[in-house]
Amino acid sequence: MRHRLRDPVTGLLFVLPVLVLFLIFRIFPSLGAAGMSLTNWNIGGEWEFIGADNYARLLDDVNFWLSLRVTIVYVVIYVPLTLLVALGTALLLNQVVFLRGLFRGMLFLPYVTSFVLAGIIWRWIYEFDGLINGLLAKADLGPVAFLEQSSVVLPALAVVSVWKGFGYSMLILLAGLKSIPSSYLEAARVDGASAWQRFRRITLPLLKPTIFFVVVIETISAFQTFDTVYVMTGGGPARATYTLIYGIYDHGFRSFDFGYAATWGMVLFAIVLIVSLVQRRFLDRGNT
């Protein structure tokens, strides 16, 4: 018995530091937020147990349903766009032989750039006298108020987030492409398959587990978007970018209604969990 337990105990000792950090900074705060959502908790640390009153209040909160709609629209725009850009750049990098590391580093650079700095740069790009409107003026097209017009502000923010974050998914997809045996593609090429046929019949099916992973992490990231909204729009115009995370920040750190903010957080957790399970059902199909 002691001999059989030696290896599991040894492995547990190696992962114990990370496990302790995970419990301290992930599990315990999540449990604390769940408990806080059942209370009326103020900035002074005083609290009163009110049960499910915060959840009943949330169901009647117009701002919550507005923020949920805004977040879903943002996710629908951001996730497919990120996947397309990341997959396209990964396919290109997979074909590059000369200076591959340089191109990979250049494309990954925005990911490690500060979101505040990226937001400031893109605010200038989107301004009336900025880069994009300058190009539109040369094409005899009127200026567009990207950050002041409710109909275009979410796509504009999604473009910024895609530019900032596609590099991580690109590297994951590139690793998935590298894991595909070259003999499969070579055999298809010998049999006369075109580049599109090789991609559709060989590359895409074998890349499906990696794509599933990228879709899940990018969906979770989209539901948690905050930096871009905070830096560039502040939830405006007319709450057109008032996402769920920004609502949590608004109630928690502006109104100091921590119990109600925790309620928003728990609902967001449930939404992300359900969406992830649905994605696993329809995208994964048990292959991952």
Q: For residue 282, what is the DSSP state?
A: I
47: three-class secondary structure by DSSP? strand
- For tokens 């640390």, the residue is 45
Q: What is the pLDDT of residue 287?
A: 52
Phi-psi domain of 42 (left: phi exceeds 0; alpha: psi -120 through 50; beta: other): beta
Q: What are phi and psi of 275, to 5 degrees?
A: -65, -40
Q: How far apart are CA 153 and CA 130, in angstroms?
A: 16
In our burial notation (b when 16+ CB lie closer than 10 A, e otherwise), range 125-134 reads ebbeeeebbe
CA atoms within 13 A on the CB side of 105: 4
DSSP of 128-158, one letter per residue? TTSHHHHHHHHTT-----TTT-HHHHHHHHH
- The correct CATH number of 67-284 out of 1.10.3720.10, 1.10.287.470, 3.40.10.10, 3.60.21.10 is 1.10.3720.10
Under a CB-based contact definition with an 8 Å cutoff, are residues 178 and 201 in contact?
no
- For tokens 């500060």, the residue is 114
Q: What are phi and psi of 48, to 5 degrees?
A: -140, 130
Q: How far apart are CA 107 and CA 171, in angstroms?
A: 10
- For tokens 């405006």, the residue is 236
Q: How far apart are CA 137 and CA 89, in angstroms?
A: 30
Amino acid at 280: R
The residues spanned by each domain of the chain are 67-284
Going from the first residue of the chain to its last (288 residues), give the mean pLDDT of each consecutive group of 10, the final group possibly shorter: 71 89 90 91 83 92 94 95 94 82 86 85 87 85 85 93 93 92 88 87 90 92 91 89 94 90 94 88 61
Q: What is the pLDDT of residue 266?
A: 94
30: three-class secondary structure by DSSP? helix
Q: Is the dihedral of CA 132, 133, 136, 137 positive or negative?
A: negative
Which H or E run includes 239?
none
Q: What is the pLDDT of residue 288?
A: 46
Q: What is the pLDDT of residue 182?
A: 86
pTM: 0.88
